[in-house]
């Protein structure tokens, strides 16, 4: 039904996350209709991103340089470290424009079921970083799944001897409806209650 080069393209596109046979076909036919120059630019962007982007040697965030832009930025607070599971989380936090400190990307969460122990994550470099530099606070910002909780507790234990360790708050999402919140979220919201502050 598809001429071989088209079939190969559809097959490759289907390997992308969230792309099924129908979407792959639509994308492939779109690509065939675009000017050759535009298509080559797309292919080049793919190859070059893969070739050039590695991990920052300090925080393990994605970076085309040996040290990432955030680590190189002299205006950012050197004494606060936010620990996340994935580069995706750095991007999400940066979008809030609320956080001015630096990051440390673990590269995943502890998950014995998937064969991921502490050694597979960037935990030793984190401990080294915290113990060797003046860090006033480490904020653990890891999603509250079973594996995430394990990772938070494990990393927290390791870092406590060196600095103050906090974790981000869990509770009702903004705009969320108390009535529809699940019990665990509600329990966490109650537990994390704070005094009203009129400053």
Total residues contacting a second copy by CB under 8 A comes to 53
Contacting residue, 53, 146, 184, 187, with a second copy by CB under 8 A: 53
160, 169, 165: which is closest to 191 by C-alpha?
169
Nearer to a second copy, 19 or 186 (CB): 19
Q: Between 1 and 113, name the residue whose CB sits nearer to a second copy.
A: 1
Residue 128 found at the interface with a second copy (CB under 8 A):
no
157 binds a second copy (CB under 8 A): no
Does residue 146 contact residue 152 with C-beta atoms inside 8 Å?
Answer: no
Interface pick for a second copy out of 20, 44, 164, 187 (rule CB under 8 A) = 44
Instruction: Verify binding: residue 52, a second copy, rule CB under 8 A.
Output: yes
- Across the strands, what pairs with 140? 83, 167
Give me the 95-124 binding string for a second copy, x by CB under 8 A, dash otherwise. Answer: x-----------------------------
Task: Using the minimum distance from each CB to a second copy, give the nearer residue, 32 or 187.
Answer: 32
Binding positions for a second copy, 171-190, rule CB under 8 A = none
Q: Say whether residue 47 binds a second copy (CB under 8 A).
A: yes
- How many helices and strands in the chain, by DSSP H and E? 8, 6
Q: What DSSP string runs through 24-93?
A: HHHHHHHHHHS-HHHHHHHHHHHHHHHHH-EE-TTT--EESSSS-HHHH-TTS-TTEEEEESSHHHHHHH
- Separation in Å, CA 188 to CA 78, 136, 171: 31, 26, 6
How many angstroms separate the CA atoms of 6 and 50, rounded?
23
Q: Does 63 bind a second copy (CB under 8 A)?
A: yes
Binding residues for a second copy, per CB under 8 A? 1-6, 8-9, 11-13, 15-18, 23, 25-32, 34, 36, 38-53, 62-65, 68-69, 87-88, 91, 94-95
């Amino acid at each position: 039904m598809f001429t071989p080069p088209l079939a190969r393209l559809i097959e490759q596109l289907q390997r992308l996350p969230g792309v099924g046979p129908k979407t792959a076909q639509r994308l492939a036919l779109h690509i065939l209709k675009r000017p050759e120059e535009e298509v080559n630019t797309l292919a080049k962007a793919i190859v070059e991103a893969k070739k050039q982007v590695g991990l920052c040697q300090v925080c393990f965030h994605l970076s085309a340089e040996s040290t990432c832009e955030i680590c190189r930025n002299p205006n950012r607070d050197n004494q606060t470290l936010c620990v996340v599971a994935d580069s995706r989380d750095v991007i999400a936090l940066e979008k809030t424009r609320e956080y001015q400190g630096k990051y440390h990307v673990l590269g995943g969460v502890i998950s014995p079921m998937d064969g991921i122990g502490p050694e597979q994550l960037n935990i030793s470099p984190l401990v080294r970083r915290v113990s060797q530099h003046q860090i006033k606070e480490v904020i653990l910002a890891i999603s509250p799944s079973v594996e995430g909780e394990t990772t938070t507790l494990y990393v927290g234990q390791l870092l406590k001897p060196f600095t103050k360790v906090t974790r981000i708050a869990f509770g009702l999402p903004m705009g969320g409806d108390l009535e529809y919140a699940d019990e665990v979220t509600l329990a966490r919201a109650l537990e994390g209650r704070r005094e009203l502050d009129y400053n």
